[in-house]
Every structure is written in C-alpha cells, then in structure tokens.
Amino acid sequence: MTYDLCIADRGYSSWSLRGWLLFAAFGLQPRLTVARLYEPAFAETLKTFFPARTVPALRLPEGVVIAESLAIAEELATRHPEAGHWPTDPKARAIARALAAEMHAGFTALRSHCPMNLRLSYTGCEPPQAVLDDLARLETLWAWARAETGASGPWLCGEYSVADAFFAPVAARVAGYALPVSPAAQAYVEAHLAHPAFRRWRAMGLVDGPDQSFYDRPWPRRAWPGPAPLPAEACDGPAINAACPYSGKPVTHFLRVRGQVIGFCNAFCRDKTLADPEAWPQAMALLQP
C-alpha cells in the first residue's frame, strides 16, 4: 500500500509539516515528492497531484488525491485504526477533533504575522493585539483540553494525537518568534521541539533547499530554543560503516560526530544528520560507545 505525499520546503511549509506528521508521528511512511514554494515549478509539480493546488497533497493507494490536512488525518485514522491518530476515549477524541478543526480554520493573525520558519528564531517581533488574541485563545484551548481529558503528560488529550500534530507548527511559531505564553504553554511548545518526528523534520528543513526571502524579518535573532544539536562536521572518509544507515547502499558522503566518521549514500542524508545527529537513531546507533 503506497501513499504518495507531496510537500514543500520543510523549513517553511507549516501545512506540509502537519501532513507529514500524520504519517511520521504514527509509524507510517509515505513516498515523498518535494515541491518548492514561490517557484513556477510548484504548480507544475502539483499538476501530477490533480486537483490539488496546495500542499500537503496525498495520493491514496486507490489513486485519488486529497489535499486538505483534516481529510488526510481522517483517511489515515480510518485506514490505520491501530496507529492511534485519535484518542480512543470518546470524550478525549471529541476534544481532539474540536482542537484540530479550530486550528485548521482559525488563528489567521498568528499565521500571517508569524509564518513558520524553522531555520531561525527571532526576538522583538512585538506581536500586534490580534496575534495576542490568538495566543490567548490557544492558552484557553490547550488548558481546556488538558483539564477535560485529564492529560498528565506532554500532549493535549493523553497520547500524541492529530490535535498535537496540528499544533506542532504553532509551537514552532511560538519558538521561532519568542512569543509570550504561560509556563504551561511553553512546556507544551518545548515538548514539540523535542518530539522525535518534529526533530527529524526540522533537521531536514535546515538543509532542504535555499533560504526563502519571503520569511526574512528585520528582527534580532537568537539561538533556536529547542534541543541543542551535537556538534558535527562534514569530512572525508573512511567511515566506521560501509553501508548507509538509511538505505543500506555503499557510503559516499561523510560526517564526524563524537570523534567518529559515519558514512551515508548521498549528500542530503549526510546533511540532515549533520544538522541534528541525535534526531537520527539509526545513525547514532553506529557510534562506538
């Protein structure tokens, strides 16, 4: 059963992140096509996903394309009930669905003033009142979900669900623009930044395509407030491994981490690992203690 998922620049495309998390955070793997935002080829690429005109666009195994994140969530949840997209408890499930739907339809001020940019973090963005209102609504929703579902861990409705996948790019915006939130909301943001699938996506987003000037802002920058990556550098071989940890193919591209050289079968897989080695357990497993 093959799913073809079309996404755009991982560093910037918030809806692509949601679509991808609906797979990666629930143990599913699509075949990816990557389009580039703001390039003529974007529309060309999407022609192969008719009738989609935005990403994410998902071609189901039957051949039909659906290009709305909520529809993708519902299809995957129905087709893979074991994957846990929605909470099984009826009350928690209803709340998770309400959260995902409100996210999908709302928060327009936050979305337009603070577009997702995983490549850096700004300070001094001075959010206007409409963004502060959106942040207040997030605080209300997040606290309500926790109180009603009795969630005691990091996620809103118990286990990580579609609701959390939908708020992951919102957490990235709070982190990326140093937005003012309560300690409880900040803890939720930090849980997203440390989530294994989010970390893998961001590592890819750091090296996936050029910087997009559309997202430049004139504000001071600070270090990304998520987990600090292990220092690593590109280098020459030989490596401690002959086969790429991801594909099993012979290694051609190398990096050094913790004083050891690991090889990969292409530049992208080397570079995404270089960006955040600990996001990639298959690569880290190669290292000698």
Ligand X SMILES: N[C@@H](CCC(=O)N[C@@H](CS)C(=O)NCC(=O)O)C(=O)O
Q: Which residues bind ligand X (CB under 6 A)?
A: 8, 13-16, 54-56, 68-69, 104
- Token representation of residue 54: 């935005």
| Entry field: residues in the chain | 289
| Minimum CB distance to ligand X, residue 129 (Å) | 25
Give 97 or 270: the residue with its C-beta nearer to ligand X.
97
Helices within 107-261 (DSSP H only): 108-113, 129-149, 162-176, 183-194, 196-207
CB of 67 to ligand X, least distance (A): 6
Q: Which is nearer to ligand X, 172 or 255 (CB)?
A: 172
- Least Å distance, CB 68 to ligand X, is 4
In the bound complex, what is the minimum distance in angstroms from residue 190's beta carbon to ligand X? 23
Nearest distance in Å: CB 53, ligand X = 7
- Closest residue to ligand X, Cβ-based? 54
State the nearest-atom distance from the C-beta of 54 to ligand X, in Å.
3
Please identify, using beta-carbon distances, which residue of 104 and 217 lies nearer to ligand X: 104
Rounded Cα–Cα distance for residues 127 and 230 (Å): 32
Neighbours of 85 (CB within 10 A): 26
| Conformation bin of residue 219: beta by default, left when phi > 0, alpha when psi is -120 to 50 | beta
Give dist(CA 54, CA 40) in Å, integer: 13
117 contact partners, CB below 8 Å, separation of at least 6 = 11, 12, 176, 215
* Secondary structure class of 4 (helix, strand, coil): strand
CB of 74 to ligand X, least distance (A): 12
**Based on CB atoms, which residue is closest to ligand X, 64 or 285?**
64
**Cβ(51)–Cβ(25) below 8 Å:** no
- What is the phi-psi region of residue 248: left when phi exceeds 0, alpha when psi lies from -120 to 50, beta otherwise? left
Using the minimum distance from each CB to ligand X, give the nearer residue, 22 or 203: 22
Q: Which DSSP state fits 119?
A: T
Q: Which is nearer to ligand X, 33 or 54 (CB)?
A: 54
What letter does residue 278 receive in the DSSP assignment? G
Nearer to ligand X, 48 or 186 (CB): 48
